[in-house]
Amino acid sequence: DRDGDGNITENDFIIAARQIGLGFLGESVARSTFRKLDKNRNGRLDFNEALNAIGILKGMSGGKHHY
């Protein structure tokens, strides 16, 4: 949540994926994953959607963080 509004945008999600070492997946995969996580289709991940996203990103990275 780069702007502090309490939501994660698609661009926030892509940046986070890169920061934890998932840049190799490519932007199109990251965008597709974001859209699947955005259950209410409002272009933002709310708290519950974000928790789900964190779990998925951790799984994709093997649980390792590369901050």
Asked whether the beta carbons of 47 and 37 are under 8 A apart, the reply is: no
Neighbouring C-beta atoms of residue 66, cutoff 10 Å: 10
Q: Is the confidence at residue 45, as pLDDT, over 70?
A: yes
> What is the average per-residue pLDDT within 28-50?
90
pTM (predicted TM-score) = 0.71
Evaluate whether 15 touches 30 at the Cβ level (below 8 Å): no
Residues in Cβ contact with 54 at an 8 Å cutoff, skipping those fewer than 6 apart? none
Could you tell me the pLDDT band of residue 66, with boundaries at 50, 70 and 90? very low
- Determine whether 54 is exposed, middle or buried from the number of CB atoms within 10 Å of its CB (0-12, 13-18, 19+): middle
Model pLDDT, residue 49: 87
Confidence category of residue 67, pLDDT binned at 50, 70, 90: very low
